Amino acid sequence: MANVVGYRHLFKYIIRGPSVLKRTVAKEPVATLGRLGILPNELLDIAISECCDIQTIVTSFYLVNRRARKVVDASLAFQRVSRHAPAALVVMLRTQVASFFTLEDICDALCSNTS
């Protein structure tokens, strides 16, 4: 019975998480972007916001490593969309239409002045 109780306690701990989590991972990225690493940040921002579709950015590139995540988070278009229309990203990913749109498309739609 003690093992079951202990297991239940462990299971609840995993679901709820610790109240204070000690961060053991490095804050700065260790890995590089490979050949993309030689590009300046401005070109990476253009590539992310205008050339890559949202599906690729969120489900592939963002998950490569911490450096890729940092580049995506630093993208002005991603910051705008995630700040002002985070639900749009979620809906596009859930309905599987995110592969047809770029971040720039969403920014243009958000900033357009249609009456």
Residue-wise pLDDT tens digits, 31-52: 888 999 999 999 999 999 999 9
> Counting every residue, how long is the chain?
115
Which position has the token pair 């260790």? 30
Average pLDDT along the chain:
79
3-state DSSP assignment of residue 102: strand
Tokens encoding 17 = 């998480």
Can you say whether the dihedral through the CA atoms of 50, 53, 58, 64 is positive or negative? negative
Instruction: Determine the pLDDT at residue 16.
Output: 46
Instruction: Determine the pLDDT at residue 1.
Output: 42
Buried/exposed code over 55-91 (b: 16+ C-beta within 10 A; e: otherwise): bebbeebbeebebbeebbeebebbebbbeebeebbee
Instruction: Determine the pLDDT at residue 29.
Output: 74
> Average pLDDT in the 74-83 region?
92
**DSSP class of 95:** T
Domain ranges of the chain: 35-114
Instruction: Say what the pTM is.
Output: 0.70
